[in-house]
């Protein structure tokens, strides 16, 4: 990505803005592309401490330029493919709008995600609806809105969906199959192997049965196959293997029914960096490997090359986000086996459940002041009544870290806001978008009054 160098109108432009935007070195992963730490910590030309003072903590910050840049990177790497942003990673009206403006489609897996898309006028033909247990109401909403494709995930869904299609119409569908490939950073986010709740098994014959059942329904148009391997995949080999297996399934359908399905959806799951020194899977790396595998296997099987669809989520929104916390307490514990410093902040597992769910690891950085003290390992913890409420283990923080300090945690743009809870009746943080030297709230903070309004009493 290139340096932005964009003009910022109005008096709110910081006096040091030009110096920041002209700095030649981008912040390294896992920080977003416009993150700078000199002369002060800022994202998108906005000082992070200004966000703290204006919006409070904890707060999610999303770098709009980084999101847009990653959308464009996928489109450039795969110009002939359909790029669908996976809404489950992070979705709000602003995010849906950015994705739409950048020419991507949207992969939704619930009625709520579809409602957000509809609220901003997202083109229906650029939406794919997923889900292993779509309710009849969700299917009806998807058909009524005219979504481009619905992914069939179980045999019962075929007839149920066909009955909802209005007379004279046909609904395009993909059949999700299980390629039996284990990939993903944790067992809970591996979805491409046998024994999962997602997809239809090739080995058991369910995938073939679903294809036959769809082809018998005049209300449905089978346009291709779909698979999804898992999440936070940082190796190319599983994608290459999946591409070959899926092309073989397309060839099997051609041989059985005399039709060459025109589309192949390989899902998403491309991994990102969470720790400094790590590197994510780039769009160019992915594109080179996958397109080569598809083209070579199609040539061997004498099959037309299908139009590729992919569904990146985390790899678009994840690096664009960071979370700001205020330090509440610092505590040192010593026993026979441990000498630990706990740095407790005003957020935790309610705004970032990934460490407790998946053992995810994060970086952290003190902002707002400079310390002359050396770093020492600290455990960044939340304020919830759980021993497992840990945000980051053994992160280097200055030895003089103290209450009132502010800490930034990078790579929190995916599966944080979307998985946030109100545990301990803690309201969810706001989402603050930054771009071109300006910050604006796109999702407001959830207050106690919001929680009380849902409680109807005795």
Q: CA–CA separation, 355 vs 348, rounded Å?
A: 10
Read off the DSSP letter of residue 383: S
Count of beta carbons in the 10 Å neighbourhood of residue 17: 19
SS3 state at 264: strand
Query: In angstroms, rounded to a whole number, what is the distance separating the alpha carbons of residues 295 and 244?
Result: 9
What is the Cα–Cα distance from 133 to 228, expressed in whole angstroms? 16
- Taking CA atoms, 399 is separated from 180, 331, 366, 395, 396, in Å, by 48, 12, 11, 12, 9
The residue with tokens 């390629």 is: 179
Closest CA to 143 of 157, 155, 132, 156: 157
C-alpha to C-alpha distance for 34 and 43, rounded to whole angstroms: 5
* 227 in active site: no
Tokens representing 167 are 């007379």
Q: In the block, which residue shows the tokens 């759980």?
A: 386
CB-CB contact of 61 with 43 (8 Å): yes
Task: Say if CB 69 and CB 50 are below 8 A apart.
Answer: no
Instruction: Decide the pairing of beta strands 375-381 and 390-398.
Output: antiparallel
Give the active site residue among 71, 92, 298, 385.
Answer: 385
Two tokens at 23?
Answer: 């700095």
| Whole-angstrom distance, CA of residue 409 vs CA of residue 391 | 9
Which residue is associated with the tokens 């709009």? 64
The angle subtended at Cα 356 by Cα 350 and Cα 362, nearest 5°, is: 90
Please name the helix (run of DSSP H) or strand (run of DSSP E) that holds residue 345, with its range, or none. Answer: strand 339-345
Longest Cα pair distance anywhere in the chain, in angstroms?
75
Q: Which residues contact 2 (CB under 8 A, 6 or more apart)?
A: none
What residues act catalytically? 385
């Amino acid at each position: 990505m290139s340096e932005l160098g964009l003009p910022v109108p109005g008096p709110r432009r910081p006096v040091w803005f030009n110096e920041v935007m002209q700095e030649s070195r981008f912040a390294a992963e896992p920080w977003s592309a416009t993150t700078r730490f000199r002369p002060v910590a800022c994202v998108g030309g906005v000082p992070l401490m200004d966000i703290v003072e204006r919006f409070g903590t904890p707060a999610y910050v999303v770098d709009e330029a980084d999101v847009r840049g990653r959308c464009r990177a996928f489109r450039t790497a795969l110009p002939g493919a359909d790029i669908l942003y996976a809404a489950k990673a992070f979705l709000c009206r602003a995010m849906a709008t950015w994705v739409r403006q950048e020419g991507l489609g949207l992969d939704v897996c619930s009625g709520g995600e579809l409602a957000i898309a509809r609220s901003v006028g997202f083109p229906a033909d650029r939406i794919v609806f997923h889900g292993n247990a779509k309710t009849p109401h969700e299917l009806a909403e998807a058909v009524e809105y005219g979504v481009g494709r619905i992914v069939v995930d179980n045999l019962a869904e075929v007839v149920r969906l066909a009955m909802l299609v209005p007379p004279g119409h046909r609904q395009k569908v993909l059949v999700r199959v299980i390629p039996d490939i284990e990939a993903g950073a944790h067992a809970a986010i591996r979805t491409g192997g046998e024994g999962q709740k997602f997809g239809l098994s090739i080995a058991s014959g369910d995938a073939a049965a679903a294809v036959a059942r769809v082809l018998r329904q005049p209300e449905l148009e089978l346009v291709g196959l779909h698979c999804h391997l898992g999440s936070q995949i940082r190796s190319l080999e599983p994608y290459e293997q999946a591409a070959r297996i899926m092309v073989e399934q397309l060839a099997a359908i051609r041989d059985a029914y005399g039709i060459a399905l025109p589309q192949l959806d390989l899902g998403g799951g491309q991994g990102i960096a969470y720790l400094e020194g790590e590197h994510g899977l780039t769009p160019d790396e992915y594109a080179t490997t996958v397109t080569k595998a598809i083209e070579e296997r199609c040539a061997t099987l004498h099959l037309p090359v299908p139009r590729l669809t992919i569904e990146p989520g985390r790899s678009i929104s994840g690096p664009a986000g960071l979370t700001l916390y205020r330090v509440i307490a610092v505590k040192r514990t010593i026993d026979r086996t441990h000498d630990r410093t706990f740095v407790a902040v005003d957020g935790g597992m309610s705004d970032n459940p990934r460490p407790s769910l998946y053992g995810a690891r994060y970086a952290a950085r003190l902002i707002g002041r400079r310390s002359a003290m050396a770093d020492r390992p600290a455990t960044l913890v939340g304020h919830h009544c759980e021993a497992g409420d840990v945000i980051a283990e053994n992160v280097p923080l200055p030895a003089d870290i103290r209450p009132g300090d502010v800490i930034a945690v990078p790579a929190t743009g995916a599966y944080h806001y979307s998985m946030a809870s109100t545990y301990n009746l803690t309201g969810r943080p706001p989402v603050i978008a930054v771009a071109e030297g300006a910050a604006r709230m796109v999702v407001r903070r959830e207050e106690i009054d919001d929680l009380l309004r849902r409680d109807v009493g005795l």
